[in-house]
Structure 1
Amino acid sequence: MLSQDMLMALLLASVRSAAWLLVSPPFSNRAIPGAVKALLALAIALPLAPRLAGDLPELSGAGVLVASVEQVVAGVAFGFLTALVFAAVQAAGDLIDIFGGFSLATAFDPATGSANSVFGKFYGLLCTTLLLVSGGYQFVLLGFTQTYRLLPLDGTLSLETLSNLVTDGLTEMFVSALQVAGPLIAVLFVADAALGLLSKAAPAMNIFAIGFPVKIFLTMALAGIAISVLPGVIDGLTDRAVRMMTGLANG
């Protein structure tokens, strides 16, 4: 039979893991039912409960409420840092949309009645697929479980460390997005320059009508170059996400 300390440790650990699963990819995907996420949160916390039972906050009513809120904040913070790292892949797809002329499709999607991004959405789904197929999600999950050791249930999250990690994460996200989409963007930039020179050499030609098909053709023809580097990128992003979570937990 579980003791009171064990049950409280299981409750608080489950709260942190549930908050993390709601934000962190690939578990935040809406295709995963809420009941599955709840069971997964419990499965994460259950093996850790015996060790965490010795690091409990005050067990009064107010103490439990405050501790629960702190665990929600901690879980969301860890999940946000993880999502921020992997957002670089979708940001790379969004850059390809802008430079390749596919951003026009974001104006309106009649199928869903909302804005939609072609390559951005495709890269986001591809990132989730690679995380699941390669087993990278297990490494991310292992990194999250380490936060319980570095930041016990009675610990306090460092807001200063969080702000520094978010700032550094935003910078690294844009750099990673440029590294993924950079070769294709460079080709499209050269195509834009060539079309501009052609418009000067032959003003009678309707370059505006020619430019979009040419850029879309180049994007579709060379998209495989950007996609081929994604497995290595996902591996590096997975390691970075783990380091950021453990760095925040370590304060």
Structure 2
Amino acid sequence: MEWINQLPVFLLIFVRILAFMATLPVFSYRNVPNTFKVAFALFFAYIIFFTVDVSGVGIDATYFLLIIKEALIGLLLGLIATMLFYAIQVAGAFMDLKMGFLVANVIDPQTGAQSPLTGGFLYAFAILLLLVTDGHHLLLDGIFYSFAYVPVEEVNFHFGRESVLETAVGAMSTMFVIAFQMSFPIVGALFLVDVALGMMSRAVPQMNVFVVGLPLKIFLGWPIMLFMLPAFLWLVSNLVDEMVITMRTLLQLFGGE
């Protein structure tokens, strides 16, 4: 019955992984069954359990604080990764604003939230690239090594440090920078179209700029988007690298390094 003494440690590992998957891209989507999420978290926790050397953790008053700590760490790590990955949706919103698609947001079945049309289109490409290049393995690798930075048995972790807030703000600013880089070709080209339409409206006042401008922007926006797909995929790979670096930095700060 020695395994009963190790059950509290296993439950702590399971709580961190399950909280991590609740906010992680791909794993947290609604079309992924909850039974699969729980079963995968159990399987992953079973693997990590044999790599964690912890003794002396019992079910007492401190144990409930450990559960809260593990849930917070998992949620924060998954949230920071999701926040960076949503740079693609922000870039799609910038593109839709110039192309005239922003008034036609749709419900994303994966998250249940409103999503811009172009953002959903590019987000599907990014998810496929993430899976093909084994980027999801890098995210799981982050939660695996999180137990080395923030041990299970420690109640305190450095959540209120100023550097943690700076890292979170830096990740948010990085998200907007990458979103601007993704959307700049279309936004810049359509800005020139707006300038040309403005000049034409001054030269030919009888022309209805709004009737001509909307289909013209759509007609020019889609070919530009197809031409920029290689650069977009390159930016997505940089985005995944930034997600891994930010997660590792947060773990080091939580561990007091």
**TM-score with structure 1 setting the length:** 0.91
The correspondence for 1:221, drawn from 219, 223, 247, is: 223
Who is 1:77 aligned against? Answer: 76
Q: Name the counterpart of 1:25.
A: 25
Segment of structure 1 superposing worse, 66-75 or 100-109: 100-109
Unpaired segments ≥5 residues, structure 1: none
Whether the 8 Å contact between 1:94 and 1:119 is mirrored in structure 2 is yes
**Number of residue pairs matched?**
247
Q: Is the 8 A contact 1:144 1:242 kept in 2?
A: no
- Using the TM superposition, give the Cα deviation of residue 234 of structure 1 relative to its aligned residue in structure 2, in angstroms: 2.2
Residue type matched to 1:40 in 2?
A: F
Contact 2:104 2:117 in 1 (8 A): yes
* Equivalence for 1:177: 179
| Identity score, percent | 28
Question: What amino acid maps onto 2:39 in structure 1?
Answer: L
Q: Write the mapping of 1:194-233 to structure 2, written as runs, cut at 5 A.
A: 194-233=196-235
Alignment partner of 2:52: what SS? helix
Residue 160 of structure 2 aligns with an amino acid whose one-letter code is: L
Q: Shift in Å at residue 228 of structure 1?
A: 2.2
After TM superposition, list the pairs within 5 Å mapping 1:76-225 onto structure 2. Answer: 76-106=75-105, 115-155=114-154, 156-160=157-161, 161-225=163-227
For the 8 Å contact 1:105–1:116, the answer to whether it is kept is no
TM (norm. structure 2) is: 0.89
Code of the aligned partner of 1:30? R
Relative distance call for 1:2 and 1:194 in structure 2 (3 A) is: farther
Residue by residue over 1:104-129, the C-alpha shift from the partner in whole angstroms, topping out at 9 and shown as x without a partner, is: 212899xxxx8542111222222222
Q: What residue in structure 1 maps to residue 237 of structure 2? A: 235
The residue identity in structure 2 corresponding to 1:211 is: G
Q: Separation in 2 of the partners of 1:153 and 1:108?
A: 39
Looking at secondary structure, tell me which structure has more helix per residue. 1
Q: Spell out the pairing of 1:57-76 with structure 2 (5 A cutoff).
A: 58-76=57-75
Amino acid at match of 2:13: A
Report the alpha carbon displacement of residue 203 of structure 1 after superposing the two structures with TM.
0.7
- Contact 2:96 2:117 (C-alpha < 8 Å) held by counterparts: yes
Alpha-carbon distance between aligned partners in 2 of 1:194 and 1:116, rounded to the nearest angstrom: 30
Contact 2:106–2:117 under 8 Å retained in 1: no
Query: What is the rounded CA distance, in whole Å, between the counterparts of 2:166 and 2:240 in structure 1?
Result: 19
- Structure 2: runs of 5 or more not aligned: none
Following superposition, the deviation at residue 52 of structure 1 comes to 2.5
CA contact (8 A) 1:97 1:103 kept: yes
In angstroms, what is the RMSD of aligned CA positions? 2.2
Paired with 2:30 and 2:94, the residues of 1 have a C-alpha distance of: 24
